[in-house]
C-alpha cells in the first residue's frame, strides 16, 4: 500500500506532469524546426489578387474614356444652350426689324435721316450738352440722343464721315 501511495502522491503526479509537458514542448519545438513555414498567402488568395489586379488594369482605360466623354457631353450641352440663347436673340432682333417704327428709328439714328419738313442739326464732335457732373444730358425716353442735338454721340461718327475719312486717308498715302 505504501507503494500505491507513492504512486499517487502529489509530488509524484507533479513530476509526471512536468516530464510530460516538457516532452510535449520539446516535440512541438522539433516540429516547428523541421516543418517549413507556410506562407499566409495561399494559392487561391494569390489567384484572387491576380484577377483583381487584372480587372483594375483592364477597366482603368475604359473608365477614363467614359469620364472624359461625359465631360465632353456636358460641354456640348452647354454650347447648345448658348447657341439656343443666341438663336432666340436673333429671332427677337428679326421680329424688331419687321416693325416699321423700329426700322425708321434705326434709320434716323444711324443714318441721320429726317422726315420731310423736319430740320436736322449736326453739331461738331464734343459739343454736346453736358450736365454738371460731366455726363451727357440724356432725354427721358431712354434714347441715346442729347436733347439739343440730332447728331451722333461724340464717340460715334456718322457713316458718311467714315466714308470720307477713308477717302481722305487713301489720298494721303503715297
From first to last of its 174 residues, what are the pLDDT tens digits of the chain? Answer: 555 555 567 777 777 888 888 888 888 777 766 656 666 778 888 899 999 999 999 999 999 999 999 999 999 999 999 999 999 999 999 999 999 999 999 988 888 888 899 888 877 777 766 655 555 555 444 444 444 444 445 456 677 777 888 888 888 876
Tell me, what's the pLDDT at 56?
Answer: 92
At residue 139, φ and ψ (nearest 5 deg) are -70, 160
**22 CB contacts (<8 Å, ≥6 apart)?**
none
Longest dimension (CA), the chain: 157
Across the chain, how many H-helices and E-strands are there?
5, 0
Tell me, what's the pLDDT at 144?
Answer: 44
- What is the pTM (predicted TM-score) of this model? 0.40
Tell me, what's the pLDDT at 143?
Answer: 46
Work out the number of other CB atoms within 10 angstroms of the CB of residue 96: 13
Instruction: Give the separation between CA 150 and CA 135, rounded to whole angstroms.
Output: 17
Amino acid at each position: 500500500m505504501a507503494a500505491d501511495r507513492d504512486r499517487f502522491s502529489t509530488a509524484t503526479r507533479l513530476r509526471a506532469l512536468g516530464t510530460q509537458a516538457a516532452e510535449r514542448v520539446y516535440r512541438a519545438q522539433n516540429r516547428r524546426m523541421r516543418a517549413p513555414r507556410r506562407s499566409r498567402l495561399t494559392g487561391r488568395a494569390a489567384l484572387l489578387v491576380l484577377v483583381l489586379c487584372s480587372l483594375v488594369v483592364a477597366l482603368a482605360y475604359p473608365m477614363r474614356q467614359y469620364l472624359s466623354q461625359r465631360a465632353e457631353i456636358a460641354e456640348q450641352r452647354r454650347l447648345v444652350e448658348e447657341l439656343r440663347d443666341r438663336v432666340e436673340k436673333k429671332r427677337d432682333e428679326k421680329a424688331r426689324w419687321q416693325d416699321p417704327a423700329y426700322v425708321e428709328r434705326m434709320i434716323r439714328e444711324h443714318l441721320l435721316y429726317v422726315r420731310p419738313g423736319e430740320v436736322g442739326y449736326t453739331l461738331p464732335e464734343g459739343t454736346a450738352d453736358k450736365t454738371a457732373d460731366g455726363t451727357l444730358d440724356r432725354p427721358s425716353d431712354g434714347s441715346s440722343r442729347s436733347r439739343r442735338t440730332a447728331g451722333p454721340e461724340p464717340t460715334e461718327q456718322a457713316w458718311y464721315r467714315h466714308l470720307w475719312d477713308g477717302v481722305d486717308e487713301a489720298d494721303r498715302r503715297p
